Structure 1
Amino acid sequence: MTSSEMTVGELIDRLSAHDRSAPVRLAMNPFFPMAHRVEQVLASVDDTGRAVVYLAEGRDEGAQLGHLPAEVAVALTWQGPVQAPPRRPRRRAGGN
């Protein structure tokens, strides 16, 4: 198969390297990176009849967890590393 899509086997292999009790989350939207809870795994077929598995976020209000941690967005190359601006000397009362 010559596709950039990850297979179920590849996902299982990658997940097996991690703590089985760790929660699974989806990283969504590279232009406004957010984290979402995974609630369901669903099987279907695509337009060609090939089996496809979907990871779906929850429908409840708490399914979107907020902004994606910066280090995750950087690792995904969705944003560049950000450094704090250089500090300026503090002004003193009286203009000194």
Structure 2
Amino acid sequence: MSHVAAKVAYRPVGLLLGVGAGLVSGLVFKQVWKLIEGEQDAPHATDQDRGWGEIVIAAAIQGAIFAAVKATVDRAGAVAVHRATGYWPG
């Protein structure tokens, strides 16, 4: 398998991994938010009863968790493709 073929073959896999990472990060964030605030639901930007600080902190935590999970999943997928094909999909 050539480098180009490995790259093309990885695209649908990477897409599915990205969707999975989004789902996992959402679940992780809910659990983290429960630990931090003791509430089931994190604030949304349009929640009238929540302050700026709480909304921005929740968004920052959610973004950090998403980025970490996505990077972990992307890296693991790239390593798996490299092991299977000998080519790095990046």
Q: Verify same fold: TM over 0.5.
A: no
Asked which structure has the greater CA Rg, the reply is 1
Q: TM-score range by the shorter chain?
A: under 0.3
**Higher-RCO chain (CA-CA 8 Å, sequence separation at least 6):** 2
The alignment's TM-score, normalised by the length of structure 2, stands at 0.24
Relative to total residues, which structure has the larger strand share, 1 or 2? 1
The alignment's TM-score, normalised by the length of structure 1, stands at 0.23
Relative to total residues, which structure has the larger helix share, 1 or 2? 2
